Amino acid sequence: MPLSSRHLLGLQGVPKEDINLILDTAKTFREVLERPIKKVPTLQGKTVVNLFYENSTRTRISFELAEKRLSADSVNFSVSTSSVSKGETLKDTIRNIEAMKVDMVVVRHSAAGTPLFLTKVCDSNIINAGDGAHEHPTQALLDMYSIKEKLGRLEGVKVCIVGDIAHSRVALSNIFGLKSVGAEVSVCGPSTMIPKNIEQLGVKVIYDIDEAIRENDVLNVLRIQLERKAREYFPSIREYSTFFGITEERLEKVGKEDILILHPGPINRGVELSSGVADGLKQIILRQVTNGVAVRMAVLYLLGTMN
Amino acid sequence: MKIILNNIHLLHPEQKIDKDKTDILLIDGVISKIGNLSKEDLNDAQEFDLSGKFIVPGFFDMHVHLREPGREDEETIISGCNSAANGGFTGIACMPNTEPAIDSAEVVTFIKRKAASHLVDVYPIAAATVGRKGEVISPMAELYENGAVGFSDDGVAIKTSAILRRALEYSKMFNTTVIEHCEDETLAGGSMNEGLNSTTLGLPPIPSVAEDIIVSRDILMAEYTGGKIHIAHISTKKSVEMVREAKKKGLNVTAEVTPHHFTLTDDAVKTYDTNTKMSPPLRTRADVEEILKGLKDGTIDCIASDHAPHSIEEKEMEFDYAPNGIIGLETEVGLTFTELYHNKVLTLNQIIEKLSINPRKILNLPVPKFEIGEQANLTILDPDEVWTVDISKFKSRSVNSPFNKRLLTGRAVGVINNKQIYFKGEFSDL
């Protein structure tokens, strides 16, 4: 059974069956990654362009490896947004790239909605690798994969996303994806970082981190942006880490030392996670990274073999 | 030249004219006879059979952006006037966010001169402060003397309460109104209305309170100074409520709404179509309901398009990078009749007030009269014509409209003004 869409723009409205198909397929590829020769010929002859308008090392390398391990030809195209504003339009860029006969485009852009825009101006399969504060579906899928790997299921699992929810595409994709497969989702963070009307998505809002730890099976802790602009939303890093940082003491106090903690990386040690907690998580966070390659292979494979 | 408009329904709410199945004789663009035409009158006259059509005082749009001087690739004074005529308007007021801004007598005169021979009357709104920068009030007396009919920093609210106070006090001398784009820029700066949709679309939000704060400041200042304030493109529930209260107190506060703000909600943004990006942004159903109530009870005085031409290259872009605004002159009458007349929000007479009489009164301009000896300034209207919007048929130089292919009921089929007629897509002299 194929996916219901030929693009992966986000997880909003994506049916449970599609998500399970991606996660099940990822499991097969996860096994490939443990082999001495980590390569399959599945996408031989297909060309994938990684179109990155925003700096990213991890996501780009993860996609690139996924493409190479599926034997696709992949090309990286990185543009800084500042040079774009002076140069050619996105539409011209994508038309030029497509004229070189590509099959799939992985796009990251600081403006929400850009992947959808690309579906209207070109014929390739579009995969969203993060658009503004909108969605980052493959990150959410790898988070879900990692939860399922550890807990054996997603349905009924209680997940709390902690941090800057208002400006996070990871949060939004996780909310849509987890809700679709029947998990219970809550968010926790300073009230200035909780977007308006989020409860209408069926999400519980928690302001007390101890309560969030107590009531959930999983914490997905987001990276706090330390740039000045993000800092308008909370008084100081010290105050943030005091009231929302996850420390060993806090986990012990609540009696949940074994709670599953995910982090998309890179970690700000001493801010959202204490160094002790971060060190304890090394294994799961590195597994998340490996799972990321498998999930992206699954998405590329399922979309690339559709048409 | 003699022309006869046959079988028309003549309607003028201010003059209390409501006369069905009559004829008008125009000689050289002047109303020479209404009804009871003789055989002699028919001699050498060109006749227009307008059965089922209404003749109403020429429509007026008080919020139009002509891009000349500065961005003639998007709209010129002439193409904007052609667009207005095609949309059913005989007069427009043009906003000062040109390059350079309309903040000197030279620019006012330039615009007046360029538009002088057109069917459509063009009245410049001048900047309230020099360069629309909000620092020093513009030479209002000189601007007024040269033909400016109102003052606005257009696109932004007047920056500080202190300068707003001076602008209101100074403009009082000419009894003109200060037109405000109400938005607190420290709160705004996003791409769409703040709410569930901005959250799920991941677009930077603009809270409705950004508008409400400035509307409230402006009303207070109008009360304090006794100056006249006009709220441009009102878009929030709270703002409508505040204007309603201000009017009850008898303050000099008026307001306009655009067709897109009474037709669409922020649900339209879900496609990331940049033609749904405007300032103020499309709001929620609750805001639209209050706007409809405000139109009905008279809180909102008039309908204006905020016609804002932008090139395809600028609009065909990432949502965050695309400029705000859509063109509206050629869909305004259709949307007004579809949404307000056929949905029984407003009567035909109320629509004529909001599209013709009130905007002229706000700007102290004479309202066209249907009297013998008066120059004809009128719109020929078919409230029941069903038509489909086709941006390729627009007279505007730009096509940035979210209403392409929309089915509308009601249309202006022609206009007459300044001894010219625009009918079936053609201008001719009378």
* CB contact set of A54 (below 8 Å; sequence gap of 6+): A81, A108, A109, A110, A130
* Interchain proximity A132–B313, CB inside 8 Å: no
A134–B203 C-beta distance less than 8 A: yes
Residue A246: the pLDDT is 95
Decide if A275 touches B, using CB distance below 8 A: no
Q: Which pLDDT score, from 0 to 100, does residue B189 have?
A: 86
Q: How far apart are CA B11 and CA B372, in angstroms?
A: 15
Matching residue, tokens 């053609």? B426
Task: Give me the interface pTM, i.e. the ipTM.
Answer: 0.91
pLDDT at residue number A85: 58
Asked if B313 lies within 8 A of A89 by C-beta distance, the reply is yes
What is the predicted pLDDT for the residue at A230? Answer: 63
Q: Which tokens is A243 given? A: 């009231």
pLDDT in tens, B88-131: 999 999 999 999 999 999 999 999 999 999 999 999 999 999 99
Instruction: Provide the CATH number for the domain formed by B57-362 in this structure.
Output: 3.20.20.140
- The CATH 3.20.20.140 domain(s) of chain B lie at 57-362
Spell out the long-range contacts of A61-64 with Cβ–Cβ below 8 A and sequence spacing 24 or more.
Answer: A62/A289, A62/A292, A62/A293, A62/A296, A63/A106, A63/A127, A63/A129, A63/A138, A63/A296, A63/A300
Q: Where in chain B is the domain with CATH 2.30.40.10?
A: 2-55+371-394+403-429
> A114 touching B, CB under 8 A?
yes
Indicate which residue of B61, B153, B184, B306 is catalytic.
Answer: B306
Structure tokens at A213: 């730890």
C-alpha distance from B318 to closest chain A C-alpha (Å): 6
What Cα–Cα distance (Å) separates residue A16 from each residue in A23, A25, A147, A178? 11, 14, 16, 9
Please determine, looking at this structure, whether the domain spanning B2-55+371-394+403-429 carries the CATH number 3.40.50.720.
no
The pLDDT confidence band at residue A304, using thresholds 50, 70 and 90, is very high
Query: pLDDT by residue (tens digit) across A14-31?
Result: 999 999 999 999 999 999
Are B203 and A197 inside 8 Å of each other by CB?
A: no
Q: Is B343 a residue whose pLDDT tops 60?
A: yes
How large is the average pLDDT for residues A43-69?
94
Say if B313 is an interface residue toward chain A (CB within 8 Å). yes
Residue B306 annotated to the active site = yes
**Amino acid found at A216:** N
pTM: 0.93
Mean pLDDT within B318-346: 97
CB contact under 8 A, B194 and A200: no
**Per-residue confidence at A228, pLDDT binned at 50, 70, 90?**
low
Is it the case that residue A84 has pLDDT exceeding 60? no
* Secondary structure, 3-state, chain A: CCCCCCCECCCCCCCHHHHHHHHHHHHHHHHHCCCCCCCCCCCCCCEEEEEECCCCCHHHHHHHHHHHHCCCEEEEEECCHHHHHHCCCHHHHHHHHHHCCCCEEEEEECCCCHHHHHHHHCCCEEEEEEECCCECHHHHHHHHHHHHHHHCCCCCCEEEEECCCCCCHHHHHHHHHHHHCCCEEEEECCHHHCCCCHHHHCCEEECCHHHHHHHCCEEEECCCCCCHHHHCCCCCHHHHHHHHCECHHHHHHHCCCCCEEECCCCCCECCCECHHHHHHHHHHHHHHHHHHHHHHHHHHHHHHCCC
Residue B105 class from Cβ within 10 Å (0-12 exposed, 13-18 middle, 19+ buried)? middle
The pLDDT tens digits of the residues spanning A167-209 come to 999 999 999 999 999 999 999 999 999 998 999 999 999 999 9
What is residue B79's predicted lDDT score, i.e. its pLDDT? Answer: 98
Find out whether A241 and A268 touch, Cβ atoms under 8 Å: no
Residue A246 φ then ψ, to 5°: -100, 115
Cβ contact A111–B320 (<8 Å) = yes
Q: Which residues contact B7 (CB under 8 A, 6 or more apart)?
A: B21, B22, B23, B49, B50, B51, B52, B53
Q: Tell me: the pLDDT tens digits for A94-124?
A: 998 889 899 999 999 999 999 999 999 999 9
pLDDT at A72 over 60: yes
Chain B residues close to A173, C-beta within 8 Å: none
- Which residue of B271, B317, B320 is in closest CB contact with A89? B317
Query: How far, in Å, CA of A11 to CA of A20, rounded?
Result: 12
Q: Do B199 and A201 touch (CB under 8 A)?
A: yes
Contacts of A200 in chain B (CB under 8 A): 196
pLDDT 10s digits, B169-197: 999 999 999 999 999 999 988 999 999 99
Contact B318 A116 (CB under 8 A): no
Q: Is-contact A145 A183, C-beta < 8 A?
A: no
User: Which pair of tokens denotes residue B164?
Assistant: 């707003």
Residues 181-240 of B with CB under 8 A from A: 194-196, 198-205
Partners of B201 on chain A (C-beta within 8 Å) are: 112-113, 134
Judge: B202–A112 Cβ closer than 8 Å, yes or no.
yes
Which of A107, A110, A116 to mutate: most B Cβ within 10 Å?
A116
> Looking at per-residue confidence, does B306 or A228 come out higher?
B306
Q: Can the peptide bond before residue B368 be classed as cis, meaning omega within 30 degrees of 0?
A: no
* Interface check A198 vs B, CB under 8 A: yes
Q: Which residues of B touch A12 (CB under 8 A)?
A: 200
In the structure encoding, which two tokens stand for residue B4, read together?
Answer: 């006869």
| CB-facing half-sphere around the CA of B395: CA atoms within 13 A | 22
From chain A, pick out residues whose CB is under 8 angstroms from the CB of B205.
195-196
Q: State residue A229's pLDDT score.
A: 63
Chain-chain contact of B199 with A197 (C-beta, under 8 angstroms): yes
Closest by CA to B58, choosing from B91, B99, B96, B19, is B91
Q: What is the pLDDT of residues B248-288, one digit of tens each?
A: 999 999 999 999 999 999 999 999 999 999 999 999 999 99
| Among A12, A132, A172, beta carbon nearest to B320 | A132
Question: Within an 8 Å CB–CB cutoff, is residue A90 touching chain B?
Answer: yes
- Is pLDDT at A83 greater than 70 in this prediction? no
For chain B, the C-alpha Rg in angstroms (whole number) is 21
What is the pLDDT, as a whole number, of residue A233?
86
The structure tokens listed for B169 are: 């006090």
Number of CB atoms found within 10 A of residue A208's CB = 12
Q: How confident is the model at residue A73 (pLDDT cuts 50, 70, 90)?
A: very high
Mean pLDDT across B376-381: 98
B181: exposed, middle or buried (C-beta count within 10 Å: 0-12, 13-18, 19+)? buried
Q: Does A7 touch chain B (CB under 8 A)?
A: no
